[in-house]
Amino acid sequence: MRILLVSIIQSYKYGNTGVDYIAHYIRQSCKTASVDIKYYHHFETWETIINDLHTHDSYDIYGFSIFETNYVLSKKIAEYLKRTQSCLVVFGGQFVTMNYREIVSDAPMVDYFILGDGEAPMLRIIHSYGNRTIQNDENIAAMHDIEDKKENVEQDINRKASFDYYTQDTAEANMQKTHCMMTKSNVCTGACTFCCSRKGRVVYKDPERIVEEIAYLATTFGVKKFFICDDDLFDIDGDENRERLMVLFEKIEQLNFNLAFSGFAKPKAICNPQNYEVLQKMNKIGFHHLFLGIDAGNEWDRKLYNKRATLEEGKRALQLLDDIGISPRYGMIFF
């Protein structure tokens, strides 16, 4: 059984965390399956990707990580694969999870659409290959099978990823990349009206495991930049989380690796005086910027978006970060 996972992203800086999780999971769970990953992260054209795929033997299953930015191109590649090979094509990712009802009818060349985390559903597709058609799987949609679906949520938040994106490159190239990782479960505790993020109970990762991954990537592959892609580093803003963050940042400081970090935070947490010491520690260990969801510059829009921070808190958060030495970046929504 040969499986190829395909990642098409318009940025060489970042890998693909979802694909890397799935690859590691399948490699550990199914010893009869061979899993490769192709990263097309340099604005490759359709012709370039097809020619590259032609240089390798065909695969039994092709899995595509779908975003709104690569959907049309991925669909075109899938159509070509189905026309020239005997294979299964699988689409997954948040864009598919949000829009699968529309996508199923728009992409008839795709066999299965995974909703939510892809590890366990992909394994079920592999086990069913050649024997039966998957039907009535609550995490997998298909043509004429879109009812009673829900997204899969993997329970192991400390699960590991493969590092193909770094093994396939040089240390010099890896130094230009930014490794994406999370310190907690992939949920958001905010309530913005435009939000499509997963909701649920916040569960924190083991700080030791986080630091071990950072140290391994830095020493083995030369990775120097890390993006903490939690929707908010300070969720939930309380003493327990402050203590957790201080423990994590102390351990990172003890590495003494001269690394660079970035992440997300909510303005209200930045303005909390109790978090000032945490922010100082973040500056000390190499946080060069935090991205804030300011989103609105007037009270009417702020209420429309249901932002918890006031306009004044948003402005104060930007100034506080600037004073501490962490560059503030922020988003605005023009409704």
Domain with 24 in it: what CATH number? 3.40.50.2300
Q: What are φ and ψ of residue 284, in 5° steps?
A: -65, -35
Quick one: which of 16, 14, 178 has its CA closest to 6? 16
Quick one: which of 36, 107, 57, 40 has its CA closest to 78? 107
Residues 317 and 210 in one domain: yes
- Report the C-alpha gap between 256 and 179 in whole angstroms: 18
- Report the C-alpha gap between 183 and 202 in whole angstroms: 10
Residues 311 and 244 in one domain: yes
Residues 183 and 327 in one domain: yes
pLDDT of res. 321 = 97
Other Cβ atoms closer than 10 A to 221: 20
Please check whether residue 156 lies inside any domain of the structure.
Answer: no
Residues 179 and 135 in one domain: no
Please check whether residue 300 lies inside any domain of the structure.
Answer: yes
Please check whether residue 41 lies inside any domain of the structure.
Answer: yes
What are the start-end ranges of the H helices in the chain?
17-29, 46-54, 71-84, 94-106, 119-128, 164-167, 171-174, 207-221, 239-255, 267-271, 276-285, 299-305, 311-324
pLDDT of res. 188 = 86
Which tokens sit at 122? 């992909």
Measure the CA dihedral 4/51/78/121, to 10°.
10
Report the CATH number at residue 256: 3.20.20.70
Please check whether residue 247 lies inside any domain of the structure.
Answer: yes
Tens-of-pLDDT digits for all 335 residues of the chain? 999 999 999 999 999 999 999 999 999 999 999 999 999 999 999 999 999 998 878 999 999 999 999 999 999 999 999 999 999 999 999 999 999 999 999 999 999 999 999 999 999 999 998 777 788 899 999 999 999 999 999 989 999 999 999 998 999 999 999 999 999 988 888 888 988 888 888 899 999 999 999 999 999 999 999 999 998 999 888 899 999 999 999 999 999 999 999 999 999 999 999 999 999 999 999 999 999 999 999 999 999 999 989 999 999 999 999 999 999 999 899 87
Please check whether residue 212 lies inside any domain of the structure.
Answer: yes
- Report the C-alpha gap between 119 and 22 in whole angstroms: 5
- Give the three-state DSSP class for 7: strand
Please check whether residue 307 lies inside any domain of the structure.
Answer: yes
Please check whether residue 229 lies inside any domain of the structure.
Answer: yes
Measure the CA dihedral 125/127/129/135, to 10°.
-50
What's the domain range around 235? 169-332
pLDDT of res. 181 = 94
Answer yes or no: are the C-beta atoms of 86 and 62 closer than 8 Å: no
Total residues belonging to the chain: 335
Please list the residues that pair with 129 across neighbouring strands: none
Residues 176 and 69 in one domain: no
- Location of structure tokens 């030369």: 222
Given 141, 158, 185, which residue is the final one in a domain?
Answer: 141
Answer yes or no: are the C-beta atoms of 142 and 113 closer than 8 Å: yes
Residues 223 and 268 in one domain: yes
Residues 219 and 125 in one domain: no
- Report the C-alpha gap between 142 and 125 in whole angstroms: 12
pLDDT of res. 149 = 96
- Location of structure tokens 């940025």: 11
Task: Quote the number of domains for the chain.
Answer: 2
Quick one: which of 218, 226, 230 has its CA closest to 182? 230
pLDDT of res. 296 = 93
Residues 173 and 134 in one domain: no
Please check whether residue 150 lies inside any domain of the structure.
Answer: no
CA 231 remoteness from chain centre: 11
Amino acid at 244: R
pLDDT of res. 189 = 84
pLDDT of res. 238 = 86
- Report the C-alpha gap between 282 and 257 in whole angstroms: 14
pLDDT of res. 51 = 94
Residues 120 and 204 in one domain: no
- Location of structure tokens 């290959």: 129
Which tokens sit at 184? 């907690």
